[in-house]
Amino acid sequence: MFAKLKDYETVAELRSSKILEDHAMKVICTIDDAIVNLDDMEYVTRMLQTVAQAHSTRFPNFDPDFFSVGMFRILESTRVVRSQ
């Protein structure tokens, strides 16, 4: 995905990229799905593992463990904010 963006030279070009917009929307929707389902951590774990696995098969340098740790940190932060 990011290889498709390598020829963009300016921030303005990136901002107008449909490819980047589509990926950003998928990321936001995945985070939203995880936040909405924080009470069902089995679902969230399965969903994030599926996303991580899909990325690791498409991108050889993608580390699914790093992805999972990052996502769970985001979700833990969200849980803390929601409980305040």
Helices assigned H by DSSP within 1-84: 11-15, 18-36, 41-58, 64-83
C-alpha to C-alpha distance for 45 and 10, rounded to whole angstroms: 36
Q: What domain count does the chain have?
A: 1
pLDDT given at position 84: 56
Which pLDDT score is estimated for 16?
Answer: 92
- pLDDT in the model for residue 7: 86
- At residue 72, the pLDDT reads 77
Stated pTM of the model = 0.73
DSSP, collapsed to helix, strand or coil, labels residue 37 as coil
- Tokens 């950003």 locate to 24
Question: Which structural domain range is residue 10 located in?
Answer: 2-83
Nearest to 32 by CA among 80, 49, 24, 8: 24
- List per-residue pLDDT tens for the chain, 84 residues long: 577 888 888 999 998 999 899 999 999 999 899 889 988 989 988 998 899 888 888 888 888 878 777 877 877 777 655 665
